[in-house]
């Protein structure tokens, strides 16, 4: 197994070990986490077998934008900037059915994919797709949600389907969250966390880090508060300036270096929380993990794209399947030309080099 596969597989084993340790207070979730540990060992072997026999490197992650509708208008939203998300009453954009998503998830699980990160729009507007995902018991589906649609019915659904894991997005403070997402959204997110904690359900939070908030959201005080809420996973995502005049919010080299130190300190200080950093954690494996190197993005219509911030595609999983999409000419070109070593500041390599990526389609 090459070093990248070793790193990715080792990281997943560490995540699952930490998850198992963090849910011991809930016997049902602990049983589920133990079963998934064993399942992922088999998935790792499956990926290695495919690599040895076919020379195809199957990534352990997918990112799937399952919804085009959203009930919020968050400032700087990449999904609206890229044309993925639109308002709740707009149903004009093509989206896959729940049955089609189930076929995609099932194939991915058979290939050895461990996680499908579900995004949108607001993914909880697609209860039908989440119910389909719940049937695929060889995978875990983190759902990146604004948290406003979590209520008694969703709590009951999550109680029965531990492989659906809500990841509630906030911006750190109440002021920062409401300023970007809308008045009262922070309080609603906290209410959702309280409901999840009361049921002892595993959940996390996603935080877009900018030059303005990254020190606050990595502080001991802030993380102590999240841990007290029952949050067991923190996913830091560097801001990508998809909207004009927001470039000052994106990391430069100094912020990237400081953020790495702050995240490592948080990991040492809060052992009961799993910390993931994107793209910060990619440096250990030689850069960007997009285009099937560690993951790729499936759009609402099934288009296979390098990543959510690089919405270019020459293939569709509906016609080619997940396996076929991994062998798309665009993905192969990006991998072969070592595009992942392209220089960039913070955020996303492929977004900063979007003109070069688009040129590859021609």
CATH code where residue 342 lies = 3.20.20.70
Tens of pLDDT along 294-337?
Answer: 899 999 999 999 988 888 899 999 999 999 999 999 998 887 76
342 pLDDT exceeds 60?
Answer: no
Arithmetic mean of pLDDT, 36-47: 94
Arithmetic mean of pLDDT, 217-223: 97
4 pLDDT exceeds 80?
Answer: no
Q: Are 351 and 297 in contact (CB under 8 A)?
A: no
Tens of pLDDT along 229-252?
Answer: 999 999 999 888 877 788 889 898
339 pLDDT exceeds 60?
Answer: no
Tens of pLDDT along 257-298?
Answer: 899 999 999 999 998 899 988 876 555 555 678 888 889 999
Among the residue ranges 5-14, 177-186, 220-229, 281-290, the one predicted with the least confidence is 281-290
- Joined together, the tokens standing for residue 256 give 């990237």
Domain that holds residue 308: 3-360
Instruction: Report the mean per-residue pLDDT for the chain.
Output: 88
Cα(258)–Cα(209) distance, rounded to whole angstroms?
A: 12
340 pLDDT exceeds 70?
Answer: no
Cα(19)–Cα(25) distance, rounded to whole angstroms?
A: 12
Q: Which of 180, 261, 162 is nearest to 218 (CA)?
A: 261
DSSP E strand stretches across 128-199: 141-145, 164-170
* Number of domains the chain contains: 1
Q: Which of 130, 120, 165, 142 is nearest to 61 (CA)?
A: 142
Tens of pLDDT along 60-87?
Answer: 999 999 999 998 888 878 788 777 878 7
pLDDT, residue 351, reads: 73
Query: What is the pTM for the complete model shown?
Result: 0.91
pLDDT, residue 47, reads: 94
Q: Which of 139, 99, 152, 101 is nearest to 123 (CA)?
A: 101
First to last CA, the chain: 34
pLDDT, residue 291, reads: 84
Arithmetic mean of pLDDT, 128-136: 98
pLDDT, residue 346, reads: 57
- Joined together, the tokens standing for residue 11 give 């990281």
More confident residue, 82 or 134: 134
Q: Which of 164, 158, 175 is nearest to 118 (CA)?
A: 164
1 pLDDT exceeds 50?
Answer: no
Among the residue ranges 64-78, 97-111, 199-213, 257-271, the one predicted with the least confidence is 64-78
pLDDT, residue 345, reads: 54
CB burial of residue 27 (10 Å; 0-12, 13-18, 19+): exposed
pLDDT, residue 7, reads: 65
Cα(155)–Cα(183) distance, rounded to whole angstroms?
A: 24
123 pLDDT exceeds 90?
Answer: yes
């Amino acid at each position: 197994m090459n070093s990248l596969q070793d790193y990715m597989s080792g990281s997943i084993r560490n995540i699952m070990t930490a998850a198992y340790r963090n849910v011991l207070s809930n016997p049902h979730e602990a049983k589920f986490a133990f079963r998934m540990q064993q399942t992922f060992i088999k998935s790792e072997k499956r990926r290695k077998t495919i690599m040895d026999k076919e020379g195809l490197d199957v990534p352990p992650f997918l990112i799937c934008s399952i919804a085009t509708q959203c009930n919020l208008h968050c400032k700087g939203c990449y999904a609206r900037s890229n044309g993925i998300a639109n308002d709740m009453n707009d149903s004009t954009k093509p989206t896959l059915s729940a049955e089609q998503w189930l076929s995609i998830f099932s194939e991915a699980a058979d290939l050895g994919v461990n996680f499908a990160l579900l995004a949108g729009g607001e993914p909880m507007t697609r209860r039908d797709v989440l119910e389909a995902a719940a049937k695929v018991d060889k995978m875990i589906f983190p759902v990146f949600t604004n948290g406003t649609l979590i209520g008694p019915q969703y709590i009951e659904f999550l109680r029965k389907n531990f492989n659906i894991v809500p990841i509630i997005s906030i911006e750190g403070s109440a002021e920062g969250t409401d300023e970007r997402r809308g008045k009262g959204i922070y309080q609603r997110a906290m209410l959702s966390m309280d409901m999840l904690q009361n049921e002892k359900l595993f959940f996390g939070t996603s935080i877009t880090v900018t030059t303005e908030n990254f020190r606050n959201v990595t502080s001991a005080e802030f993380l102590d508060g999240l841990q007290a809420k029952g949050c067991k996973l923190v996913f830091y995502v560097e801001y990508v300036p998809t909207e004009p005049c927001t470039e000052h919010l994106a990391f430069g080299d100094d912020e990237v270096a400081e953020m790495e130190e702050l995240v490592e300190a948080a990991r040492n200080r809060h052992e009961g929380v799993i910390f993931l950093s994107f793209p910060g954690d990619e440096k250990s494996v030689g850069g960007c993990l997009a285009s099937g190197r560690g993951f790729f993005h499936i759009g609402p219509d099934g288009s296979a794209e390098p990543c959510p911030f690089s919405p270019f595609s020459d293939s569709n999983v509906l016609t080619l399947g997940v396996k076929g999409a991994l062998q798309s000419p665009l993905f192969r070109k990006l991998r072969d030309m070592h595009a992942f070593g392209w220089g960039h500041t913070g955020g996303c390599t492929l977004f900063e080099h979007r003109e070069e990526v688009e040129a590859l389609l021609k």
